[in-house]
């Protein structure tokens, strides 16, 4: 019953460092998403994928990259971390797109860039 | 693009009823989700509406009016554990990607 698993849960980076946030799901969902959530704000879509090998930009993609080589995994890459990327990052997945197919969320990665 | 409006914060008393409103403007509307998010936790699914009307699920109900671009979440018999943020997320057709509002922080007091 793992659902969506994100690692790490917490991370502190220095400005200019790079890192990859990992996300994996075991529900065979084809849609996967990365959101960021700043304090008091809603979730903003960074990137999404509708299946292995297919990714697309969301509302706030600058400074991030993604890949989707398998159905299960959807890592988010920060190449040159900046303080503006301090946020809570949520990975989510859902099945196909039609109907009331709700998204299931991972527990989040709390990232601080100093 | 999408424009979503919810109240920032609401307070209510344990045992009472509260209605959280959401108005939205979205192209190619294709359903609306409500999620609950406790502080420091991930959002969890509450309800989904695609047709006009009321969907009831235990203590929680959600209403949708597509012509008015309006939805509300109704919480009955409030409990302390209902203190959380409630996120309205309309979905546009084609992409099937929900867009989230800022959320309404609900504080339930004794």
| Confidence check: pLDDT of B96 > 80 | no
Taking only the tens place, the pLDDT of each residue in A68-88 is: 999 999 999 999 999 999 999
pLDDT band at B46 (very low <50, low <70, confident <90, very high): very high
Residues of B in contact with A107 (CB under 8 A): 41-42
**Interchain proximity A41–B44, CB inside 8 Å:** no
Q: Mean pLDDT across the stretch A53-60?
A: 94
**Interchain proximity A40–B102, CB inside 8 Å:** yes
Note the pLDDT of residue A100: 64
The Cα diameter of chain B in Å comes to 44
Residues of B in contact with A45 (CB under 8 A): 97, 99
A38 to chain B, closest Cα gap in Å: 10
- Residues in chain B whose Cβ is within 8 Å of chain A: 4, 8, 31, 33, 41-45, 48, 50, 87, 95-103
Touching B: A residues 15-54, CB under 8 Å: 31, 33, 35, 40-45, 48
pLDDT over 90, % of chain B: 81
Comparing B29 with A67, the larger pLDDT belongs to A67
Tell me what the pLDDT averaged over chain A comes to.
93
Q: Is B53 exposed, middle or buried (0-12, 13-18, 19+ CB in 10 A)?
A: exposed
Note the pLDDT of residue B2: 67
Note the pLDDT of residue A21: 98
| Confidence check: pLDDT of B102 > 60 | yes
Taking only the tens place, the pLDDT of each residue in A27-39 is: 999 999 999 999 8
Note the pLDDT of residue B92: 80
pLDDT band at A98 (very low <50, low <70, confident <90, very high): low
The H or E element spanning position A72 is none
Taking only the tens place, the pLDDT of each residue in B51-95 is: 999 999 999 999 999 999 999 999 999 999 999 999 999 988 666
Per the CB < 8 A criterion, the answer to whether A101 and B33 are in contact is no
A107, closest residue in chain B (CA to CA): B42
A43 to chain B, closest Cα gap in Å: 6
Note the pLDDT of residue A62: 96
| Confidence check: pLDDT of A1 > 80 | no
CA B48, distance to chain mean position in Å, is 9
**Interchain proximity A97–B44, CB inside 8 Å:** no
Closest CA relative to residue A95, chosen from A87, A104, A86: A104
Residues of B in contact with A106 (CB under 8 A): 42
| Confidence check: pLDDT of B1 > 60 | no
A18 to chain B, closest Cα gap in Å: 25
Q: HSE of B66 in the Cβ direction (CA atoms, 13 Å)?
A: 13
| Confidence check: pLDDT of A97 > 60 | no
Q: Is A84 exposed, middle or buried (0-12, 13-18, 19+ CB in 10 A)?
A: exposed
| Confidence check: pLDDT of B24 > 70 | yes
């Amino acid at each position: 019953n793992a659902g969506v698993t994100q690692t790490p849960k917490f991370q502190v980076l220095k400005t200019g460092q790079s890192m990859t946030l990992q996300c994996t799901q075991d529900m065979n969902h084809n849609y996967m998403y990365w959101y960021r959530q700043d304090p008091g704000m809603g979730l903003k879509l960074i990137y999404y994928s509708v299946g292995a090998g297919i990714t697309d930009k969301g509302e706030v993609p600058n400074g991030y990259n993604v890949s989707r080589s398998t159905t299960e995994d959807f890592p988010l890459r920060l190449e040159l971390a900046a303080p503006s990327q301090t946020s809570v990052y949520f990975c989510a997945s859902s099945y196909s797109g039609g109907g009331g197919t709700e998204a299931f969320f991972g527990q989040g990665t709390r990232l601080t860039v100093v | 693009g999408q424009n979503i409006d919810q109240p920032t914060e609401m307070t209510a008393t344990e045992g009472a009823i509260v209605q959280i409103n959401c108005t939205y403007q979205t192209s190619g509307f294709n359903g609306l989700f409500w999620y609950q998010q406790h502080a420091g936790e991930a959002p969890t699914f509450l309800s989904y509406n695609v047709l006009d009307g009321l969907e009831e699920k235990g203590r929680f109900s959600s209403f949708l009016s597509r012509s008015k671009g309006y939805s509300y979440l109704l919480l009955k018999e409030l409990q302390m554990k209902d203190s959380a943020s409630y996120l309205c997320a309309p979905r546009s057709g084609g992409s099937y990607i929900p867009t989230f509002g800022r959320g309404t922080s609900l504080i339930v007091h004794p």
